[in-house]
Structure 1
């Protein structure tokens, strides 16, 4: 008795024939819609975190330049957000933060979709490979450098002309951001299953290992990346030129004094950016992709 599903003209038979002949089978089902989901997920996550990060970045910049204290700057931003929300939400600083993190999430999502397509895996699958790290790092660092230049002009010392960041400073900032990207996109898919295997059923009912890892990993890595951040800032703030030579012992003393408090301050910024944002991006993408599989 013939099986109609295995007829020469059926899709199943065609797929089996391709696999049997050694041809590559790609998962192109709803590919256009899946790319749209990648963009929607990235935009949803970036929209949630951009206002808060814009406040924090502005306050840090204004505090460093002497324009305002951290508390006063954040209070001013909150007043604007409450009394004139459209002014704050559609401002250049908020738009730049949205661009930085929206692009970072989008690149990570696109790599996941490319991998699921080329490896014939479910649309909602995620990766933790080198391609994802490289693509998301390139987007975050490239656009982030432009954002930093604009923020300096907007919130730096009044009338001051920003000088160029020295090459070692750029290198340190790039290494800092690469560590954060790696901890945000590559570590959670690896760490999540490990945490799940050690969570009790009661804990699993409240949180998943992946969501927990998306908060813990980018926060924990700040204790490693913060010295890079502080040294890069010191190279910019205290240029070693002519008679004003600053030796490395002096620079490391400055880094050591501010290491702990700066690490916690950066955690306060990174957790919204890659903890909350990462969870929102992952959950929105997984939910929408499941409908397309």
Structure 2
């Protein structure tokens, strides 16, 4: 009898723990899927911003080149280091937001709504900022000035054409291609220039604005959208989730460009010169980052929210059977 009583006492906590594990598994699954959905577009657009700031490359030709690579070599594109960096960032961000909301709703169901919102924002901000800054540093190292310098400095001139016979030329082509690929891989791994503290600070402020505008502000603004603009609650949420994160980029993009400029030109430069560089790229980079943020936190955020709600509902229905 005592044994049965102990079993009855421990069973609810065991069921609750299993239920929480199932919900968290669903959260991570949806986060990974939503991140995979937005990775190609975000990777291309992030790279364009870095290359524009570092080398003043025209956006459209570079965009066409990267898009063509993603279409003609999808496996190489999706498994490349930049794509995996972007996927890791958004998987971690969506998973942090999902897991925080799940733990608060399941373990602390009576928590104050404002406190729950603040907790979700802080958790998501910490995860997104830490992983996001790491990703941006890697992008600056891969596609910024230092990458070109390293590449130029490690390029070996070809041997004289007269010294190569036709047979030798045919035999050395595969070896030369393999050596070039190995050299390029070594270059990418060897880029380790330190990042100025000011760059980290700029990226941190940018991320705070982005996370607030993507996770907290849309829910606040959606209730204020008039019915003449969007009649249903669903349409208001979707409109806010797409418009607010994009609008925030007008404020956060100059901060992002300043951080990139501090990395690319770490020497002492007059503030007016830095502001001129930021102003030069502000509009184009803002539009690019708007196009980036719509799939990242607009479409990606919407897919994550709806996918999470669907899986949680399915788990609840299966638990009631």
Q: Answer yes or no: same fold by TM over 0.5.
A: yes
Q: Which moved more, 1:183-192 or 1:44-53?
A: 183-192
CA contact (8 A) 1:27 1:119 kept: no
The answer as to 2:262 corresponding to 1:227 is no
Task: Report which of the two structures shows the higher radius of gyration computed on alpha carbons.
Answer: 2
Instruction: Give the gaps of 5 or more residues in structure 1.
Output: 1-8, 15-25
CA contact (8 A) 2:97 2:120 kept: yes
CA-atom RMSD, angstroms? 3.0
Residue 73 of structure 1 deviates from its aligned partner by 3.0
Number of aligned residues: 260
Query: Counterpart in 1 of 2:68?
Result: 79
Residue by residue, what CA displacement relative to the aligned partner does 1:101-146 show, whole Å, maximum 9, x if unpaired? 110000000110011013327xxx9986222122112221212222
Query: Counterpart in 2 of 1:130?
Result: 118
Q: Which moved more, 1:105-114 or 1:182-191?
A: 182-191
CA contact (8 A) 1:166 1:235 kept: yes
The answer as to 2:304 corresponding to 1:281 is yes
Instruction: Give the gaps of 5 or more residues in structure 2.
Output: 10-14, 151-190, 317-321
Query: Counterpart in 1 of 2:219?
Result: 189
Query: Counterpart in 1 of 2:183?
Result: none
In structure 1, how many angstroms separate the alpha carbons of the residues matched to 2:285 and 2:94?
25
The answer as to 2:95 corresponding to 1:106 is yes
Query: Counterpart in 1 of 2:283?
Result: 260
Residue by residue, what CA displacement relative to the aligned partner does 1:166-202 show, whole Å, maximum 9, x if unpaired? 212211110001110111111122222333xx22597
The answer as to 2:106 corresponding to 1:117 is yes
Query: Counterpart in 1 of 2:20?
Result: 31
Q: 1:285–1:233: structure 2 CA closer, same or farther, 3 Å change rule?
A: same
Query: Counterpart in 2 of 1:172?
Result: 202
CA contact (8 A) 1:27 1:116 kept: no
In structure 1, how many angstroms separate the alpha carbons of the residues matched to 2:230 and 2:46?
38
Q: Determine which structure has the larger helix proportion and give its number.
A: 2
CA contact (8 A) 1:173 1:228 kept: yes
TM-score (structure 1 length as normaliser): 0.77
